Every structure is written in structure tokens, then in C-alpha cells.
Structure 1
Amino acid sequence: MFPADLWSIGELAEHAGVTVKTVRFYSDRGLLPEAARSAGGHRRYGPEALDQLRLIRSLRTLDLPVSEVGRILDREDALEDAIAGQLKELGSQLASLRWREAALQLIRDCTVEERPDRLRLIGAVSAPPSTAALARFWRGVLPARLPARLVSAILDEAVPQPPADPTPAQVLTFARLHALASEALRHTENCRSTARNHEGDLRPAVLYEGLGEAYALASANLRAQRPPHEDGALDCFVSAHARARGLRDTPDFRRQLSGVLAQTADPVMARYWQLTKELSASPSGPPEPNMGTAHYWLHTALDSQVARSAP
């Protein structure tokens, strides 16, 4: 004879408002504690099984997998990890939906003539979009001897993240940037070939370390919307180039550097930075400075100084 507070599988299902099949499913997976078995081998459950079943249903309404539910029932601290994982997955799904929505709006609103090219561009980008192609492009462009820490720092600055809630225009801009970077092999060879012709005994780590400081100073000028001019940012920029070559910063070196920078200007990189600038554009203010806009500011300041000092 069983105590009055023990229920059959059907009675537990009735108390919980679920089907017998549901109770059996969770019981078979060891998620529901059995209080006893009848002489015929039928399961009997106590009130704790009802509490457990209600908890399981609550967790399942959060779309947690059964395997995760089992871990949470075994360990209380597993709930936080499970929630963090679900939030991360949902964030990725929402980002994908927002990207797809903006992409569909872009296709809907373009002309018939524009549609094939835009479909091609968008079709090459995953949803949510990945920056892997951009990172590969930069790893190919940067000098092979550059320390890993500098490569990582440059990638953080040079590879833009897709907007979390993109406009159709931003979707198109990122797709164009992705297409540009996806031709990395040809572009990389062009960039490296040009760079090798002017490197000589250049020390890449010294150069990029100094350029990072110069770009940070120039970015402050860009945020303040100051036009290119002679200041500490330009001195830091020229000094980085001079020290990397084992030379001194002199007026003659500045003239030579101005010429070298003009000769090594690459249209692919110019296009990359223009698209990156467009991607960060905001209706509420000017776009955030990047390495490209900082370089252009410094190069223009150098050219202006050299032009004024010319005999």
C-alpha cells in the first residue's frame, strides 16, 4: 500500500497539466525523482517530482536544451552559464535578423539595374556578417616580421565591426568592403611588392609602434575637426619613419618621405579606408577617425609643410 501523497504517472501528469508522454519523457532521462515502484513495476511520484516537473517546464520555456536542463538540476550554478549561452545565441540570431532585414530593404529599394550587383555583393556575406575576410586581408598586407602583439593591435583598429543594427546603406558598404578584402591575394601581392621596393633596411616594429602613437594624436585633431597642420602628431609621424630607417628627422628627410608616401599610395587601401569611414558614419556627428583618415591627415600636413619650405 502506497502513501496517499504518492501519485501514478497519470496523476502526476494531471497535477502538472501535462501529458503522460511528457512525464515519461523526462522520467526516462532521469530528470524526475521516483518515490517508489508498484509491485507491477509502475512508477510512483511524490510532491517533489511535481516541483521538479514545474521547474523543468519553466526552463524549457526559455528554450534551454534538455541536456542543459539536466545540468542545471544537478548543479545550481549551471543556470548562470546556461543563461549566458542562450543570451549569446539569441544575440547572434537577432543580429542575423537585423542584417537580413536591412539587406532585404536594400534590394527592395534599389533600381532594377542595380539589383544584380547588389544581390551578388550581399550573397557573398554571411548573416550575421563575419570580419574574417578583412582580418585575412590585413594579415597578408602587414610585414611578415611584425610582432604578434602589434598585428593584433592593428587588426583591432583596422578591421571595422559590422553595425549591430545596420541601415540598408551600411549593409551595402560592408558588403563592398567584404568584396574588396576578398580579393586579398591580388591586393596583398600589389601592396607587398610596392612596399618591398621602398623598405630597404626598414624596421617594421619600430615603424608601426611609432605610427600607432602618431595616429592616436592625429585622431584627436580629427575629432576636434582641426585641419592638417604642423604639430606633435606630425613630428611623431615623421620620427617613426625616420627611426625605422635608422635616419634623423631633417627637412631633407621630410621632403623625401613626402615623395615616398606619394609613390606608395595604393588605391585599394584608399578605397578600404573610405568604405570604413562610410560604415562608421552617424547622423548625429562626424564619423569616428580610423587609421586611414589619420594617415591622410598626417600625409596632408607633411605635404603642406614641405610645400611651404620649398625654395
Structure 2
Amino acid sequence: MSDHTELLTIGDLARRTGLPVRTIRFWSDNGVVAPTGRSTGGYRLYDAEAVARLDLVRTLRELGMDLNTVRRVLSRQATVRDVARAHVRALEAEIRTLQVRRAVLRRVARHDSTTEEMRLMHELARMSADERLRLVDGFVQEICG
């Protein structure tokens, strides 16, 4: 480390990044953004690289990534691209689940459905496309016999 390297206190870092000191301290304690050193008084000191690292961490966290995933990206065990792809798949599955819930709740809100009808609707909605197709095929087989 050269004498020209500006070291920032956690307060300075918070002002530069717009993150609360508490968040920076938490991420630091969890090994996400380690301090460059300590002051003579024992305070954490960070270099300019910490600003960029915190910006990346904040972005990843705002996109819903947990700290373990963030650590993997920062340590280059995973790429942002690979993590993003996995999160897109997870979000798509979550969106489908929410759409199913919305459909069931709309049906219940429009009609005076019984508990049994709601249970059946929910079971049907949770089925995969293949499961629904097999159910319909089975029904057609039974009717047309």
C-alpha cells in the first residue's frame, strides 16, 4: 500500500456509497467487504476498491441474491452471468406460482366457492402441464372408453 492511497473510515465510505454504516459493518463482519486496515484507534479503514465492491454488493443484494451467492461472485467462484441465469429461472418459477395463486383467489373472490372447490382448484393449478395433460387424457379415455 503506497502513502498516496486514500483510506476511508466507515463513515466516509457510507457517505460515498450512500449505504448505512450499519450495513457496511454487517457486510464487513460477514466477510463480504473486508477493511484494508485499521486506524491507530482500531477503526476500520477502507480503500477505493471497497467503494466499487460495495456498489456491486448492493446491486447483487437488490437483485435478491443472498450473501453466500454474493461471496461466490466476489471470490470468482461464480460469474454474475451464471448467478443471474439461475435467479431468472427461480424468479420465473416464483412468478408462475404467484399467477396460480392469483387465479385461485380471483375465482374465490368472484364466486362463493366451497373449501373443497378451492382445494381442488389449487391442486389443479399446482400441476405441471404434463400432469394436466395426463389428467385430461385419462378423463377422455374414461368417457370415450
Give 5+ residue unaligned stretches, structure 2. Answer: none
Aligned-pair distance for 1:40? 2.5
Letter in 2 for 1:121: L
* Contact 1:10 1:20 survives alignment (8 Å): yes
* Contact 2:104 2:118 survives alignment (8 Å): no
Provide the rounded CA distance (Å) in 1 between the counterparts of 2:89 and 2:5.
46
Question: How well do the aligned residues superpose, as a CA RMSD in angstroms?
Answer: 2.9
* Contact 2:72 2:78 survives alignment (8 Å): no
Q: Aligned to 2:8, what secondary structure does the other structure show?
A: coil
* Contact 1:9 1:20 survives alignment (8 Å): yes
Q: Aligned to 1:44, what secondary structure does the other structure show?
A: strand
Provide the rounded CA distance (Å) in 2 between the counterparts of 1:78 and 1:9.
28
Provide the rounded CA distance (Å) in 2 between the counterparts of 1:106 and 1:16.
47
Q: Does 1:129 align with 2:129?
A: no
Q: Deviations over 1:150-192 (max 9, x none)?
A: xxxxxx6xx446xxxxxxxxxxxx9xx5xxxxxxxxxxxxxxx
Q: Aligned to 1:80, what secondary structure does the other structure show?
A: helix
Give 5+ residue unaligned stretches, structure 1. Answer: 132-155, 162-173, 178-268, 275-291, 300-311
* Contact 2:10 2:45 survives alignment (8 Å): yes
Sequence identity (%): 29
Aligned to 2:101: 100
* Contact 1:32 1:52 survives alignment (8 Å): yes
4+ residue runs of structure 1 moved beyond 4 angstroms? none
Aligned to 1:17: 18
The TM-score normalised by the length of structure 2 is 0.78
The TM-score normalised by the length of structure 1 is 0.39
Aligned-pair distance for 1:15? 0.9
Aligned to 1:79: 80
* Contact 1:34 1:43 survives alignment (8 Å): yes
* Contact 1:33 1:48 survives alignment (8 Å): no
Q: Aligned to 1:30, what secondary structure does the other structure show?
A: coil
Aligned to 2:61: 60
Distance 1:18 1:120, change over 3 A: closer
Provide the rounded CA distance (Å) in 2 between the counterparts of 1:65 and 1:88.
16
Q: Deviations over 1:3-53 (max 9, x none)?
A: 561111111111111111111111111221422222232211110010101
Provide the rounded CA distance (Å) in 2 between the counterparts of 1:42 and 1:130.
56
Provide the rounded CA distance (Å) in 2 between the counterparts of 1:120 and 1:7.
58
Aligned-pair distance for 1:108? 3.1
Provide the rounded CA distance (Å) in 1 between the counterparts of 2:101 and 2:84.
25
Q: Aligned to 1:5, what secondary structure does the other structure show?
A: coil
